[in-house]
Structure 1
Amino acid sequence: MTTIELCPDDVHNRRTIHQGHPPDWVNRDGGDYDVVVVGGGPAGLTAATTAAAGGHRVAMTEQRLTGGTCVNFGCTPSKALIRCARAVHDAGRGAELGFRLDAPPRTDFGAVMERVRRMRSMSSAGDAVQMAEEAGVEVYLGHTRFTAPNAVEVDGRPLRFRKAVIATGSEPVVPAIDGLRTGEYLTNETVFALTEQPSRLVVIGSGPQACELAQAFRRLGSEVDLVSHPTTLLSQDEPEAGELIRRRFEQEGIRLHLGFTAVRAGAGRLLALGPGGTRELPYDALLLATGRKANVEHLNLDAAGVHDAGDGVAVDAYLRTANPDIYAAGDATFPLKYTHAANATARLCIANALDAAHRPARDLVIPHCTYTDPEVAEVGLTPRRARDEGVAIDTYRLDLTKVERAFIDGEDEGFGAIHTRSGSGEIAGATLVATHAGEMISELTLAITNRLTLEALADTVHCYPTQAEVFQRIALQARPQRVAAAH
């Protein structure tokens, strides 16, 4: 049976382990199931508990910790770290709000990381093995591999199934850098084990994870260099959003090396090659945040007649694999690697597999948010996606400087943009850069899901003063333009 370790060995990490992979756990002997779910992260837990709630006999297997990356190495610990970093940053802005500290705020990094571990242990309680069992799921812990089109084996225990869902998540991509050896770098799976703050941190990457952690460590007091082969930050989002974050990072003292490629690392020095030559960057810690890849290599997929597409399990529009009895959900197959996408695709798998729902994954409206400060959130069709898909859209935009609550709070760096299908006013997408963008984007997600128009948004009463008013103001501002266009 797999032994799970989390560093440091403290009460919080021991609690997380006992909840997500009890050391004294004894698997059942195996058996026949309506559904076997391979993987106990967000997608796996959602698929398993949804199927169990429908009265089906369900087994769920997990090699490491239930809750997966999100609870243990991703969403929960990273947001706990970001919250501490934001508190330190806000305390340093006291003069703007009429108070002064006797000295600049100082970070107790040990206390910050102790809180991160405590938050993780609290969050993991909701995804614990015992919680899954109480929901009617029979849990098997250990390495899982397919042995036949309708069977898996978990550490020698045979499980036969009528339907199965592959939900094994993803793992960090480790780029090929000359001289870099295992154990000499951090990823999201090891960075939260730190107990001493690195005075000099080099981050490789420019996506959400890289940007979130670079800003958090800078605010906590580390010197931070960010190295990125792309010449922009958050290159999957609208360019204006990435440019705004770039300016904020430079204001906060993050040294950006955009357009540079890490070519050699070791002995506390990174060599990066880019425009105009090379740069040598000293570091106490090196964080790799260059993306994630589906974790499906050790499943023996061939035995089940399931194909590995190279970027995850190959599925059709309904998340069904080449084996019609096996589906896949979450990071193991879906390009949008977010917890909420994992949950949504897991529910869809169960509906299609057990209820013949025949719903395609393309119908899902999935927002995303990068939790920098300000946050960057998008949903639906953006100008870039619209161009790629050949869809004509109209864009209506407003700076947060025009929203009272934003400038009252000193949080007016950002903007909102709503994208509608040309000629109809139907809301098709949105981009929002705001301190609380992740909390605000759901209104537009609901609008897109229900095919609402700008007129519906304009007529919806919003509390005043709130930053969420930005959406209604955009809709009201667009009304005269749309009336004129109609005539």
Structure 2
Amino acid sequence: MSRINCDLLVIGAGSGGLSVAAGASQMGADVVLLEGHKMGGDCLNYGCVPSKALLASAKVAYQQGHAQSFGVSDQQPQVDYAAAKDHVHDVIDTIAPVDSQERFEGFGVTVIREFGSFLSPTEVQAGDHVLTARRIVIATGSAPFVPPVPGLDQVPYETNETIFDLREQPRHLLIIGGGPIGMEMAQAHIRLGSKVTVLEGAKALGRDDPEAAAVVLEALRGEGVEIVEGALAAEISGEVGAIKVKTQDGRSFKGSHLLMAVGRKSNIDRLNLAAGGIEPSRTGIKVDAGLRTSNRRVYAIGDVAGSLQFTHVAGYHAGVIIRSALFGLPSKASEVHIPRATYTDPELAQVGLIEAEARERFGSKLEIARFDYHHNDRALSERKAKGFAKVMVVKGRPVGATIVGHQAGELISLWSLALANRLKMSQVAAMVAPYPTIGEVNKRVAGAYFSPRLFDSQFVKRAVRFVQRWIP
């Protein structure tokens, strides 16, 4: 058993862990990185990257069959499902070197391909190594949560960790879970030629703004996705090619393949947190505002910190703790400006408070600025005119934004910037967007906040008439 001492020990080589390791090492710290599975974590191998690659294949197939309105003949797409998966893995392989062991060793990081487990509040075992570090960062991420539905353990099923390796196209894909993962995979597969049924125990996209979610759900239903809400799975049975899901209200649904997409759970089982003096939480590891655990030498970031489970959150957390762990400076994480996006077509993106939350918190002080996509010339030219942007405003400052429509995931970044820096609506309205772009949506929704003040104000009209009377 060898012993290793270092300044910083990072457990987990996903997005957050890699960001911490790279930053700390290049700033002069002695860093050890542990990874018992794949470099790049869930995002590269099973999440963000493969899902967006599969959606891209599906988008091309859909465009072939819906080109007539552009003056191009519709063509029935000839989908090769296995080749689409080859595209997915080619994208993963192209990005993988950025997250590779060799690259991080080039930064000076010591990479050990083993899982880490606490032996004490100051020691972690990884294979044949015992490591002691001045600071430790837990960045072990999350995995698919598979609920204990009766019969599920006897039936073949997919999760996001397996579906991208599936080579046989599902004839009829049953998806349990109507959240972002379920909706993205539903649209990808319906466009690639599968029949798709989504079973959601409560409301599909239930954590999102209901008005915006309705636009997405209408679009998916219009493409042929069957979305069944209030359908809580009670029993699952069948075999390969013939799966049956029975819901609590007695309904039955049959399909050839089953995808479980009901949520995620933090990866903490291997860590032996008790030995490390680290208190777990209901959703992962308990942390304070600075992302420290109950063991003051140990931080937890990303999915395992039990908060918003997004790759960009893990990257943000990495920046927060580098300031604290390397420089000893106070640093706190905030969720106010963290955006989230669902990459369906149309996309759905949000940051800050949704309308219902803002109304509950601010009451009559809240104002809503809104702009519809069908007033955007670029959206009209590309026949992407469904959707809207709305911004929740209190005393001239945005407190939240919801965008549903073409490129919503790109547009929401501006409102994250506004919330992070407490910008006023006047500052957003002052920007100039090139014409014609989808980006004008943000300019116009900010302008919509001021339109009633300028065009419906009798004071403004009287002032203009007075000035015009006296200007030579």
TM above 0.5, yes or no, is yes
Per the alignment, residue 456 of structure 1 pairs with 427
Per the alignment, residue 251 of structure 2 pairs with 279
Equivalent position SS for 2:55: helix
Q: 1:79 aligns with which of 37, 52, 61?
A: 52
Q: What is the letter of the counterpart of residue 207 of structure 1? A: G
Question: Separation in 2 of the partners of 1:357 and 1:388?
Answer: 36
Q: Against the structure 1 CA distance between its residues 49 and 178, is the aligned structure 2 distance closer, same or farther, given a 3 Å change threshold?
A: same
**Is 2:233 aligned against 1:270?**
no
Encode CA deviations 1:311-347: one digit per residue, 9 max, x unaligned: 1111111111111100110000141100000110122
Please tell me whether the aligned partners of residues 351 and 357 of structure 1 are also in contact (alpha carbons under 8 angstroms). Answer: yes
Question: Separation in 1 of the partners of 2:453 and 2:25?
Answer: 49
- Percent identity (aligned): 36
Greater shift in the superposed pair: 386-395 or 429-438: 386-395
Encode CA deviations 1:244-294: one digit per residue, 9 max, x unaligned: 1111111111111111011111212323326xx422222111000000011
Encode CA deviations 1:182-216: one digit per residue, 9 max, x unaligned: 67110000000111101110001011100000110
**Structure 1: gaps spanning 5 or more residues:** 1-27
Per the alignment, residue 206 of structure 2 pairs with 235
Please tell me whether the aligned partners of residues 262 and 270 of structure 1 are also in contact (alpha carbons under 8 angstroms). Answer: no
Question: Separation in 1 of the partners of 2:358 and 2:96?
Answer: 39
Please tell me whether the aligned partners of residues 149 and 233 of structure 2 are also in contact (alpha carbons under 8 angstroms). Answer: yes
Equivalent position SS for 1:257: strand
Per the alignment, residue 328 of structure 1 pairs with 300
Aligned residues: 454
Q: CA deviation at 1:122?
A: 1.0
Question: Separation in 1 of the partners of 2:399 and 2:182?
Answer: 29
Per the alignment, residue 4 of structure 1 pairs with none
Equivalent position SS for 1:163: strand
**Is 2:444 aligned against 1:470?**
no
Question: Separation in 2 of the partners of 1:278 and 1:143?
Answer: 44
Greater shift in the superposed pair: 150-159 or 182-191: 182-191
Question: Separation in 2 of the partners of 1:249 and 1:203?
Answer: 14
TM-score, normalised to structure 1, is: 0.90
Please tell me whether the aligned partners of residues 243 and 258 of structure 2 are also in contact (alpha carbons under 8 angstroms). Answer: no
Per the alignment, residue 311 of structure 2 pairs with 339
Per the alignment, residue 352 of structure 1 pairs with 324
**Is 2:96 aligned against 1:93?**
no
**Is 2:32 aligned against 1:43?**
no
Please tell me whether the aligned partners of residues 261 and 273 of structure 1 are also in contact (alpha carbons under 8 angstroms). Answer: yes
Q: What is the letter of the counterpart of residue 281 of structure 1? A: F
Per the alignment, residue 231 of structure 2 pairs with 260
Question: Separation in 2 of the partners of 1:152 and 1:426?
Answer: 47
Please tell me whether the aligned partners of residues 281 and 306 of structure 2 are also in contact (alpha carbons under 8 angstroms). Answer: no
TM-score, normalised to structure 2, is: 0.93
Please tell me whether the aligned partners of residues 233 and 245 of structure 1 are also in contact (alpha carbons under 8 angstroms). Answer: no
Q: 2:131 aligns with which of 136, 159, 172?
A: 159
Question: Separation in 1 of the partners of 2:66 and 2:282?
Answer: 47
Equivalent position SS for 2:153: coil
**Aligned CA-pair RMSD:** 1.8
Q: 2:378 aligns with which of 405, 408, 412?
A: 405
Per the alignment, residue 153 of structure 2 pairs with 181
Per the alignment, residue 464 of structure 2 pairs with none
Question: Separation in 2 of the partners of 1:315 and 1:389?
Answer: 25
User: Which is higher, the Rg of structure 1 or of structure 2?
Assistant: 2
Per the alignment, residue 316 of structure 1 pairs with 288
Please tell me whether the aligned partners of residues 203 and 287 of structure 1 are also in contact (alpha carbons under 8 angstroms). Answer: yes
Greater shift in the superposed pair: 366-375 or 47-56: 47-56
Equivalent position SS for 2:338: coil
Q: What is the letter of the counterpart of residue 320 of structure 2? A: L
Please tell me whether the aligned partners of residues 52 and 58 of structure 1 are also in contact (alpha carbons under 8 angstroms). Answer: yes
Q: What is the letter of the counterpart of residue 362 of structure 1? A: S
Question: Separation in 2 of the partners of 1:197 and 1:131?
Answer: 36
Question: Separation in 2 of the partners of 1:432 and 1:226?
Answer: 24
Question: Separation in 1 of the partners of 2:164 and 2:243?
Answer: 22
Equivalent position SS for 1:455: helix
Question: Separation in 1 of the partners of 2:134 and 2:79?
Answer: 54
Equivalent position SS for 2:206: coil
Please tell me whether the aligned partners of residues 9 and 135 of structure 2 are also in contact (alpha carbons under 8 angstroms). Answer: yes
Q: What is the letter of the counterpart of residue 29 of structure 2? A: H
Q: Aligned ranges for residues 436-451 of structure 1 at < 5 Å?
A: 436-451=407-422
Please tell me whether the aligned partners of residues 359 and 366 of structure 2 are also in contact (alpha carbons under 8 angstroms). Answer: no
Encode CA deviations 1:102-159: one digit per residue, 9 max, x unaligned: x411211111011111111111111011111111211111121011111101012011
Per the alignment, residue 296 of structure 1 pairs with 268
Runs of 4+, deviation exceeding 3 Å: 387-392, 482-487
Question: Separation in 2 of the partners of 1:381 and 1:340?
Answer: 18
Per the alignment, residue 3 of structure 1 pairs with none
Question: Separation in 2 of the partners of 1:151 and 1:179?
Answer: 41
**Structure 2: gaps spanning 5 or more residues:** 460-472
Q: Aligned ranges for residues 2-81 of structure 1 at < 5 Å?
A: 29-81=2-54
Question: Separation in 1 of the partners of 2:374 and 2:154?
Answer: 47
Per the alignment, residue 172 of structure 2 pairs with 200
Question: Separation in 2 of the partners of 1:282 and 1:70?
Answer: 31
Q: Against the structure 1 CA distance between its residues 438 and 363, is the aligned structure 2 distance closer, same or farther, given a 3 Å change threshold?
A: closer
Greater shift in the superposed pair: 473-482 or 324-333: 473-482
